[in-house]
Structure 1
Amino acid sequence: MKLQHLLSLLPIIIHAQSSSTYLPLSYTIPTSTTECLYERITTPHEHVTSSLFLVSGQELTAAYTFEGPVAPVDIESNGRELQKYISIYNQQGTRMFVNGRYGDSMMNVVPIQISGIVDMEGEMEDYMDDTTEEMERMREMERQRNTPSNRYQQHHKDEVDEEGQRYQEMKRDMEERRRDHPDLDDYTIAHEEQLKRQVEEEAMMDDDFIKLQMDHEAHNNGNRGGGRGGGRRLQEVDQQQQQQPQYEGRRRRLTEVENLVPGEPFQKTVTAESPGWYRLCVTAKWGTIEVELELRKSSTYGPINKHTGHVPGSEAAITHEEIHHLYEKEDDATVLAEEEAIKTEDLSTTKEQLRILEKVYQEIITKQLEERRVWNWRTVKNQHLYSHLVLGNLVETVVYCAISGYQVFTIRKWFGGGPSLGR
């Protein structure tokens, strides 16, 4: 009966997986125009994630602004009042919150205004920077691994392993000899003790040698540092030199345009302290673009994801809704009446399988969306590279033709002046 119940759920599961794949809303924005997406925040201290992804365009660069509240929370989305407040905000900005000129609901609010530029043309360069930093970290680990102390530890470990193998071989030989000659017990014991002393003496000699080598190196560093404590100061300077480029890189990235990993959307999560209408606006300044926009609030899509630091995406909410429908279908009284022989253990197992299905299904949808965005980015990037290559070749051809024409003109002029040259 359990099998029959699972088979009855199979068409619903297949329909849930094949019904619809989530795709964010995309907007085509002409040059020098702005497109905005509005969302009403009804509760204070709510988390809001703004997300945008440039699908295509002449230049994968756009200016964005997330701001609010631009209108009171009690204004409906399809009325003239909302348009009136938006027009006032466009003219006055955050000054409209002063002195309560537009009602008590627009007083004592904490406005938010975040703006910047998203550049997806430079994603490959940023990715290469990350790769270079990773290679530098690997080289630093290799340099630390090749220090005298680490080399000694590895060499000493190999020697100990080799000595241990030789000791085991000799021990096996002695055991065979003992079986052949039972009267050699005293000799065997004495020989084993001699081998142990030999291994210990070699290890002590190696330890003394490496200590002398490290003391000699520290003494040389102290002399180069200019007296007592010079080696310590030299190490401190090296640490400062290693840390300084890292901090400089961080400061540089904070002042740069937002560059992302290829295929990933730009996301920013903030806390809306005051209820009201918020908006995400994107302006196409360098050409017509197609952009995917999302505004996600925690009251609708759930709390912040601990791994990403953002409010979960719409695909996660849709997946949860579809799987939740399966739970309701499973707990339906009609289904339970039809399947009288179903046990509680069977239902708990089915629910556990549905939870696993929800997680796997959500991962599949997320990966599909990521792959689609990566392919879109690669397509646009290759088109731009091809256009730049064609333009560069065209310029080179024009310059080459101009130089060739000038050379022909110069040679003809030189031959034309032959009589004046005495010919």
Structure 2
Amino acid sequence: AIMGMKTMLLSLKLLVMASVVSAMPMQMVIFQRGTECFFEMVDAGEHLTMSVFILDGAELRATAFLEGPVAPLNVTSGMTFQAAMDQYDQGIRYGLSIHHQEVVDFEHMSDKSLEGEDDDDDNVDAFMTGMDDDTEMEQTPENIELMKKRAAEKRRQLQMARQRARDARRRREQKRKERLAKIRDEGEPYQKTLIAQSSGWYRMCVRGTWYQITTEMELRKSSEMGGVDPDTSHVYTYEKKQQLEEEKLLDEDTASQEEGIKDEDFEKTREQLRKLRRLLSEIQNKQQTERHRLVVHAATNAHSHSRMVLSSLLETVLFMLVTGYQVYTIRKWFSSGGSLLAR
């Protein structure tokens, strides 16, 4: 009966996910060590973007992962879908698969590895200083030939040292760019975009820690949202898609069928409408980011206050224990001293 209920719930979830998940972020409550997942049918070559933001919890931390295909496209029921997922978890793959997993922490978003980065370039000047000086050698034909060979070897080693220094700088700059790309501004959700290698069902999951958390989860695919945003390299959001559709309708509208309206005036009006729509979209995005930032700040302050109260309580208990031990020691000392005086 329990398995049948799970299968029915999974079928309902698949029916809802296929039409709703890619539209608006959904708030999910994830219990201790629990996992919540979204599923999406994806064709090969499509872009998938998962978005996660933790709104509440004793710890704003979770594990997000995007993987698939966890089931082929020809599944016809929740039972066959569950069986396919069980086989996927056991190691069976349905074509070329992708898997990305990362721990997201909204209380500690800065990358400390960027601080105090050491410069490990090869010191070419020190290398040149350490080379042997041949100026004091006697100018004989044998020594001149030897000096030429040493000079050629010096040039070769110097070129190698400079090349190693350039490679080290290039690698360090690449690592720095990768670390900077992982740092998010406060209030922004964690987003990751992958390209589906094979057609099938993909899933995005968020796994909680030892505490209950509330998250906003979203799974978007490029075929439904209109492509990939060149500014963010992620699939368009629902708001961005709506903005592009409205701008497209404005471009298709003309003043040719209206009397008394010039094309120049209509074009100016249309351009002003575009600006107003973009400004409204920016305001909405900033409001959402600010709301998320306030949520993170409130949770961080509450957690800091809880840690401070717990620390003060432990210090008080420790102080009382030490004081009690001192009183006990002094009383014992006086009692032993009194008995000695009585003798």
TM-score when scaled to structure 2?
0.71
Aligned mate of 1:365, from 277, 280, 284? 284
1: CA distance, partners of 2:91 / 2:327: 71
CA contact (8 A) 1:49 1:297 kept: yes
1:285 alignment partner AA: T
Aligned mate of 2:106, from 92, 97, 120? 120
2:290 alignment partner AA: E
SS in 1 for 2:198: coil
Q: Which aligned pairs between 1:227-306 and structure 2 lie closer than 5 A?
A: 227-228=132-133, 246=172, 260-306=184-230
Relative distance call for 1:281 and 1:239 in structure 2 (3 A) is same
> How far off is 1:299 after superposition?
1.4
User: Which position in structure 1 is the counterpart of 2:45?
Assistant: 45
> How far off is 1:74 after superposition?
5.2
User: Which position in structure 1 is the counterpart of 2:85?
Assistant: 90
> How far off is 1:248 after superposition?
12
CA contact (8 A) 2:66 2:202 kept: yes
User: Which position in structure 1 is the counterpart of 2:310?
Assistant: 391
Q: Spell out, residue by residue over 1:375-411, the C-alpha distance to the aligned partner (whole angstroms, 9 max, x if none).
A: 1111111111111111111100000000000001111
Relative distance call for 1:277 and 1:389 in structure 2 (3 A) is same
2:86 alignment partner AA: Q
Q: Percent identity?
A: 36
Q: Spell out, residue by residue over 1:191-220, the C-alpha distance to the aligned partner (whole angstroms, 9 max, x if none).
A: xxxxxxxxxxxxxxxxxxxxxxxxxxx8xx
Relative distance call for 1:28 and 1:298 in structure 2 (3 A) is same
User: Which position in structure 2 is the counterpart of 1:186?
Assistant: none
> How far off is 1:352 after superposition?
2.1
Q: Spell out, residue by residue over 1:159-201, the C-alpha distance to the aligned partner (whole angstroms, 9 max, x if none).
A: xxxxxxxxxxxxxxxxxxxxxxxxxxxxxxxxxxxxxxxxxxx
User: Which position in structure 1 is the counterpart of 2:300?
Assistant: 381
2: CA distance, partners of 1:23 / 1:368: 16
Relative distance call for 1:291 and 1:223 in structure 2 (3 A) is closer
Aligned mate of 1:346, from 243, 265, 268? 265
Q: Which aligned pairs between 1:70-81 and structure 2 lie closer than 5 A?
A: 70-73=70-73, 81=76
**Matching of residue 26 in structure 1 with residue 21 in structure 2:** no
Q: Spell out, residue by residue over 1:268-290, the C-alpha distance to the aligned partner (whole angstroms, 9 max, x if none).
A: 11111222221111111221001
User: Which position in structure 2 is the counterpart of 1:14?
Assistant: none
SS in 1 for 2:236: coil
2: CA distance, partners of 1:421 / 1:223: 82
CA contact (8 A) 2:48 2:219 kept: yes
CA contact (8 A) 2:71 2:88 kept: no
> How far off is 1:65 after superposition?
2.1
SS in 2 for 1:123: coil
Q: Spell out, residue by residue over 1:343-396, the C-alpha distance to the aligned partner (whole angstroms, 9 max, x if none).
A: 122222222223323332222222222111111111111111111111111100
SS in 2 for 1:307: coil
1: CA distance, partners of 2:45 / 2:54: 29
SS in 2 for 1:373: helix
> How far off is 1:90 after superposition?
3.4
Relative distance call for 1:400 and 1:226 in structure 2 (3 A) is farther
CA contact (8 A) 1:52 1:291 kept: yes
2: CA distance, partners of 1:122 / 1:370: 17
TM-score when scaled to structure 1?
0.58
- Please say which structure displays the higher CA radius of gyration: 1
Q: Which aligned pairs between 1:128-207 and structure 2 lie closer than 5 A?
A: 130=114, 132=115
Q: Which aligned pairs between 1:324-343 and structure 2 lie closer than 5 A?
A: 331=254, 336-337=257-258, 340-343=259-262
**Matching of residue 60 in structure 1 with residue 42 in structure 2:** no
> How far off is 1:117 after superposition?
1.8
1: CA distance, partners of 2:163 / 2:41: 54
**Cα RMSD, aligned residues only:** 3.9
CA contact (8 A) 2:56 2:215 kept: yes
**Matching of residue 320 in structure 1 with residue 244 in structure 2:** yes
CA contact (8 A) 1:49 1:270 kept: yes
2: CA distance, partners of 1:223 / 1:272: 52
CA contact (8 A) 2:25 2:216 kept: yes
CA contact (8 A) 1:118 1:259 kept: no
SS in 2 for 1:422: helix
> How far off is 1:247 after superposition?
8.0
User: Which position in structure 1 is the counterpart of 2:326?
Assistant: 407
